[in-house]
Structure 1
């Protein structure tokens, strides 16, 4: 049970020492990561610090409240080229404004994401940009707000309020792609990629909406979920064809899923745009150079990153602003795949 800390006062290293029943110097060594302290003792100190809400700030005390020029950015999947392009736009805008970007990769791991965010807090980041890992609790923005650090969430939402957000009109984009395939004469259209979450639900809703507009019933056998990466796209395209669903086209959750699907078609001796139609979502730079070039929904990743940076900079300049949002309007880019 945490020991009392004077009302209104932040916990100090002395409070942690008393809570863990060790000396102040032991607490200091543990927080600095010294190997001289036995692991059992170190764990007791870390647990005491967590119970008290104590945060170790690596800067000297006299710099604790000095303005920082560092922005922390935590991304969920840097293997996806979409996020690399978002980061370029984000960093360019922040550097122009005089900030240095500290980037971390969560690998869709909630514990790693938490570690990265807390480390950036310790580094006294002036602001945070987060693309949440799958399963991130909706309460996270409130937690960051309690730290006193401005936050912009990108791409994936976390609830509907309490934070600035930059993303895309997902349902509208998926509906555009589906309508195009319907207009080309396809009636058995698959939906490939994504796992449970708001983005998947929104893009699937757009797909269903376009089918309903044409009076075509939704068939769950045409919808396959997997992690939205190349392997997932490859496996899902094969599964869709192996099921004997009669599918002649597919809307892919994102471009990297579509790249995997293109590979699966090639391995079967089929060509996208001739034997089977495919569309992606994002319009990463590689989409124009796929084999064949990929038809996709363009949400301009670099611009999205720049807009996210603009939201954060505005929040830093004026913490009292009303909630800000940016949704990239989707555009259909037609190439040879479908």
Structure 2
């Protein structure tokens, strides 16, 4: 069977080869009627457009390299899904890399991207204990967009969450509901997300003239058992605490255990001293299925992905575009726990 080519499509549609090429590349000002004729010819003949060959001829690429280090991080997974969806809408495809470390594995990943001819790289930063990018990413010669959950010092096209704003928003919400003794549970020592949120937490407390106690923000490992233990310790030492900001979904789930162990319950009524209000920073399915349902500040993961994809596309279209830093605020979703 003869292979169907672009010339065959042009003859079938009754248009020029250049018109078919423009339709395939979604370029130029082509009328809807002409586009429909070309698409009908493609469907009739069963023509398959070789995008890779077309990109090679035009010295362009519709491939974007996406680096995701941590598949266990729900925020990164949601951002990745949003990036892929947005890029596909614009005719791009994603080439995914998951280097195991920031050294030789990352080097091989970037080399693979280069061999595949990607047009640009989106890097989902996962190390929340450093404000610097790996040297290989900093020196990447391709258009680069970085997505980070914490503030980075490197000059790069960056999309990130405003952790200080989210914690300030959550704290003010609790204060305005009558809470005066609020604690922050979770986050490891040196975690930049925790440090930024604590700035927002403490600034809200200061704004309302409330006391900031160092012992009201204990660190703990990211698991439910550790969060449960530290919550119990905290409430036993200070039974006037009526609200907790929970660093992670695990911290939120674990804190429920600690609250119950000291004979108290989860709830929003500040005047019932046995109740403890909970506010988290993530929107996750298993958190949403709890009873009571959790109040949280959204992570804006879908919008983060859309912004990252959009910034990459703008960078490809305008190579001289100045470095952009996009900071996304969270939205508080009030439910039963606070």
TM-score, structure 1 length as denominator? 0.69
- The CA distance in 2 between the partners of 1:282 and 1:178, in whole Å, is 15
1:138 aligns with 2:123: no
- The CA distance in 2 between the partners of 1:253 and 1:105, in whole Å, is 26
In structure 1, runs of 5+ residues without a counterpart are 1-62
Q: Is the 8 A contact 1:175 1:209 kept in 2?
A: yes
Aligned equivalent of 2:301? 301
Q: Is the 8 A contact 2:131 2:150 kept in 1?
A: no
For residues 100-148 of structure 1, what are the alpha-carbon distances to aligned partners after superposition, in whole Å with 9 as ceiling and x for unaligned? Answer: 22334467x54455554454345443222222232557253x7436432
The CA deviation at 1:332 is: 1.3
3-state SS, counterpart of residue 218 of structure 1: coil
Aligned equivalent of 1:30? none
Q: Is the 8 A contact 2:120 2:144 kept in 1?
A: yes
The CA deviation at 1:263 is: 5.0
Q: Is the 8 A contact 2:149 2:160 kept in 1?
A: yes
- Note the 1:173-322 alignment, pairs <5 A: 173-195=166-188, 196-228=190-222, 230=224, 233-244=227-238, 246-265=240-259, 270-273=264-267, 275-322=275-322
- The CA distance in 1 between the partners of 2:107 and 2:233, in whole Å, is 35
- Note the 1:11-160 alignment, pairs <5 A: 66-105=59-98, 109-111=101-103, 116-134=109-127, 135=129, 138=132, 140=134, 143-144=136-137, 146-157=139-150, 159-160=152-153
The CA deviation at 1:212 is: 0.5
- The CA distance in 2 between the partners of 1:229 and 1:152, in whole Å, is 31
For residues 16-48 of structure 1, what are the alpha-carbon distances to aligned partners after superposition, in whole Å with 9 as ceiling and x for unaligned? Answer: xxxxxxxxxxxxxxxxxxxxxxxxxxxxxxxxx
- The CA distance in 1 between the partners of 2:170 and 2:92, in whole Å, is 38
User: If you compute each CA radius of gyration, which structure gives the higher value, 1 or 2?
Assistant: 2
Count of aligned pairs: 275
CA separation of 1:103/1:190 partners in 2, compared to 1, >3 Å: closer, same or farther? farther
CA separation of 1:212/1:327 partners in 2, compared to 1, >3 Å: closer, same or farther? same
CA separation of 1:299/1:133 partners in 2, compared to 1, >3 Å: closer, same or farther? closer
For residues 235-294 of structure 1, what are the alpha-carbon distances to aligned partners after superposition, in whole Å with 9 as ceiling and x for unaligned? Answer: 543443355464322112244532343355456664321621110113345443333211
For residues 171-198 of structure 1, what are the alpha-carbon distances to aligned partners after superposition, in whole Å with 9 as ceiling and x for unaligned? Answer: 1110111112222332221112233243
**Structure 1 counterpart of 2:165, from 168, 172, 189:** 172
- The CA distance in 1 between the partners of 2:245 and 2:99, in whole Å, is 27
Q: Is the 8 A contact 1:113 1:133 kept in 2?
A: no
Aligned equivalent of 2:271? none
The CA deviation at 1:220 is: 1.3
In structure 2, runs of 5+ residues without a counterpart are 1-55, 269-274
TM-score, structure 2 length as denominator? 0.69
- The CA distance in 2 between the partners of 1:223 and 1:289, in whole Å, is 27
Q: Is the 8 A contact 1:80 1:229 kept in 2?
A: no
